[in-house]
Structure 1
Amino acid sequence: MLLVPSVTKVGPEKYTLIDANGRKPARQEQGYWTRRFKSRMSNEENLALFYPLEVTDYMDLRHMPRWSYAANEDKKIFWLPQHEYIDAHYYSPQPYRSKKVAIILDIDSNLDVARMREMGIPLPRTITGRPPHNADDHNSCRPHLVYWLHRPVWGNRRKDMNLYNDVCERLANLIGRLCYVERINTPTTKNPAKRIYGTENPFYHVIEGDLREWGLEELSDAIDDCEAALEAEDAIC
């Protein structure tokens, strides 16, 4: 009977083969299996087996970097690998200026999410705010809004980057009708998957919005529709 070596993880990005006698295989074969499993483990579908559901539901692991900025409650920023920064209080899904994978809005006031839905404003995947005593799905306290994009926007593609910046500004102006938008694309954002240490309870108050990955043109069209509806409403009033 042919005995297939078993695979054992020996580090964050390192795997080893052990045969039935507990011996490692030849160096060349070992290198093949290490590369093969590193590739497989980088797949979002496989990571879902190891990370909490909140991570794979609220983040877009396909476009997130292997290393990024992160911070805990003291807001001291560190450069951490992905398996560590996804457990921080704050993290950056886009630490490089040359690659944008999301639109992040920092709200420095309360946000009436129910009114946002009524107005037809495009919703982000997550609205992550402070946990008020009367937390519900209709209001959020000083939240961060994250709109994940269907594909990255690269800085060397001027047309795409101009559209990205335009959508960011228009989206901020639209949401600014309801609250105070302090900043667009902050260095770090509140982690919607963060749990209270030693428990399964979320650290932040998270409201799920639209779970889709937005295309820039699609999001721009949605903003057009909302602006047109609001202008018509203002004209009637």
Structure 2
Amino acid sequence: MKSNIKLPAASAILFSMLLANCVQTSPFAKSPMSPSDSTAGIAKAWPGLIQEGLEHVTGRIADLEKRPPIREGALFLGDSLTEGAPLATMFSGTTVANYGAGWDTTDGVLMRLDQVMRNRPDLLFLLIGINDLSYDHSVQHITQNIEEIVSRLQINLPGTDVYVISILPAFPDWTASIRDINTHLSIRAVDQGYTFIDLNSALRSNTGSLREEFTTDGLHLNEMGYGIWRQVLGDCVVKGCNTVVPSAANEKPPT
């Protein structure tokens, strides 16, 4: 499963401007998405995606709309890192719902939250933001969106415990931004009432990128990488946890 490609600077700027407008005008902002939504409608909500991305998002939203909502267990929300996770195998014996969507960004998650909030899981795990960096979205843009996602989830799903997973290591050029995002999210966890889980440090190399044995392309996880995910999140998914895990992002940058 592929992620967003890097856009030219002019296209990235236009993408950001259009996204800011779409947050207010998207047809998906106030009503669940449905299979009848056209590719043009998806393009309006996720401007700037290449055709492959548009087709994937369209199909994924349609597939998720057909699923019966869960009333227990854990729901995972995110991008291709979540969509590609073999959750049923990783957490067998536990009700899990995978609402990951390849190519997604923090803006995209905000726009499809109504579809997510039809569910009533006991636990919700959010991992989102890496694709934003491919569009040169600022650390502030990403963290503000994540806080807004969490706030809306807490208001609409008061019986659900929300967990925010750290942004995972990726390409060297993104290391500083990832560290800053994770530092912010770990600090905000107590005040905003979510549990922060540091998965980054378990997968990170000395240079700040994903360790080679855990990735297929420097961005996505392989079977071993998801095995680490399972180890770190295991107890929380099965029985919940309320300890804010200190982020390794607070450490000095790798040299």
Say whether the fold is shared (TM-score over 0.5). Answer: no
Between structures 1 and 2, the one with greater helix share: 2
- After TM superposition, the score normalised by the length of structure 1 is 0.30
Between structures 1 and 2, the one with greater strand share: 1
* Structure showing greater relative contact order (alpha-carbon pairs closer than 8 Å, 6 or more residues apart): 1
